[in-house]
Amino acid sequence: MYSGIVLSVSLPRLKDRLLALARFGALPGGGVTRMCWSPPYEQARAWLLGEAKTAGLATWVDPAGNVFGGLGADRVSPDAPVVLTGSHIDTVPEGGILDGALGVMAGLECLHTIREAAIRPARPLAVAAWSDEEGRYGSLFGSRAFCGRLDPAAIPSMAAVDGDRLVEAMGRAGFDAHRAPEAAAPPGGVAAYVELHIEQGARLEEAGIPIGVVETIVGARRARVVFHGQADHAGTTPMERRRDAFLGAADYALKARELVISRGGARAVTNFGVVHVHPGASNIVPGRAELVHEIRDPDAAVLERLARDCEALAREVAAARGLTVELRPISATTPAPCAPRVQETIEAACAALGLASRRLYSAAGHDAQNLAGVTDAGMIFIPSRGGRSHRVDEMSDWDAIERGANVLLHTLLRLAA
C-alpha cells in the first residue's frame, strides 16, 4: 500500500491488538465499558504490560497508574529526554473500541516496528497509556499527574458522579491516590509528544482528507449546577405555589444552550450530560435538581466569558422561579496550542507518505493538552466513520487506521532523529 516507503507498521498485528483490547469490558451489543480503575480496566492494564514486553519494550507503571513501554528507556529522565507517544485505554460508558485505544496500540506498534527493524534513533522512545483520561474521577487525571498539574489537596474530594471516591477506587486497584502527584516527570524529561487519535467528528471524512494536523485543543469547563426549591405533594399543591427545582434546571439548560450559541460563535459547544432530580418520585414536586454543565471552546477568553455568563444566567433563572442555586466547579482545562515544530514534522511525514493533510482544531479534550505544558506536543487525527464517537458504533476504516499509524511512525522517527 505504501510503495517506496522502507518502513511501515504491521496492520494485521495492530488490528489484532485493537480487537484483543476491545474484549476487556466488551458489551453484548458491541462497544465497550471500561472505566478507569474498574476490574476490566485493570485486566486491560495487565494485558497491555504483557504486550509491551512481548514487543521488546521496557515497562513501568507510575504512582498515578500510567503505563509506559520504552525503547531505549526504562524511565523518563532529563539525562536522555524521551520522545513520547500514547493516549488512553479507559472508555466512557457504552463507548467504542478506538477512542484512546488507537493511540496506545498504534504507539506500541510503532515502537515494535522500529525495534524489529533494528533502528536506533538518537533519542529514546516511549508509549504511554494515561489513566482516567475520560474523567470519571477527574479530567485527564494521569497526564495531569505526569505533568505536575495534579493538586494534592484536591485528591481526597475527587469522586465520580455516582459518589465513588478516587481514593477508594485506586485503593481497590492497588494504588495509593495520595501518591499520584509523585508521578510528575522531571523537568526536561520529555523531548516531544505526539498523539494519534480518531477525530471524533466528521470534518475530515466530509472533506475527503486522510490526515488532520491539530493546531489547538479546546478547553473545557465542567460545573455541577444545583437548583433548590421545595418538595411538595404533586396533587395537592397549586401550580402557582410550586417551587419546582426541575423546572429551574430545565429552564437554565435551554437558556444556557441559546446563550452559548449566540455569544460563543461557531466553535463553542455546551452539554448537560448528567441530570438528577430529588426525591425522584412521580407524586412529589422536585425539591432539588442537579445538572452537570460542560462548555468547550478553543479560545480561552471566550471560554471564560461563557462560563461567567452562564453562572449569572443560573442565578437569574433561580431568582425568577423562587429558587436558590449552587454552582460547584468540577474541572477546568485551558485550550492548548500544539507546537509548530510538531505540526510541521507531522506534515513532513504526510508528504513522505504521499498523504494530504489539513490543519484543524480539536473539539475534544485530550491528554496532549497537558503534555503541551511541559514539552512540544502535537496530535494526528484520522477520519471517524460518520463522525461518530463516544458510542458503541464508533469506528474508522482500517485503511485510515493504517495510514494514521504510519504517519505516527514517521513522525516519531523524525522527532527522535
**pLDDT of 393-408, one tens digit each?**
999 999 999 999 999 9
**pLDDT of 238-282, one tens digit each?**
999 999 999 999 999 999 999 999 999 899 999 999 999 999 999
- H or E, element range at 232: strand 232-233
**For residue 163, is pLDDT > 70?**
yes
The residues spanned by each domain of the chain are 11-217+335-416, 219-333
- H or E, element range at 333: strand 324-333
pLDDT class of 309 with cuts at 50, 70, 90: very high
Q: Give me the long-range contacts of 163-166 (CB less than 8 A, separation at least 24).
A: 164/137, 165/137, 166/137, 166/138, 166/141
pLDDT at 1: 35
Q: Which residue has the cell 454543565?
A: 293
| Best CA proximity match to 66, nearest among 169, 143, 171 | 143
Q: Determine the residue type at 395.
A: M
pLDDT at 4: 39
Q: Is domain 219-333 in CATH 3.30.70.360, yes or no?
A: yes
Residue 118 CB burial class (10 angstroms; 0-12, 13-18, ≥19): exposed
pLDDT at 126: 99
Cell output for 319: 431568582
Q: What is the mean pLDDT of residues 343-353?
A: 98
Q: Which residue has the cell 495531569?
A: 144
pLDDT at 53: 98
Q: What proportion of the chain, given as a percentage, has pLDDT over 90?
A: 95
**pLDDT of 171-223, one tens digit each?**
999 999 999 999 999 999 999 999 999 999 999 999 999 999 999 999 999 99
**pLDDT of 84-132, one tens digit each?**
999 999 999 999 999 999 999 999 999 999 999 999 999 999 999 999 9
pLDDT at 340: 98
Task: Please give the CATH superfamily to which domain 11-217+335-416 belongs.
Answer: Zn peptidases (3.40.630.10)
pLDDT at 2: 33
User: With contact defined as beta carbons under 8 Å apart, do 285 and 242 qualify?
Assistant: yes
- Domains 11-217+335-416 and 219-333 alike in fold: no
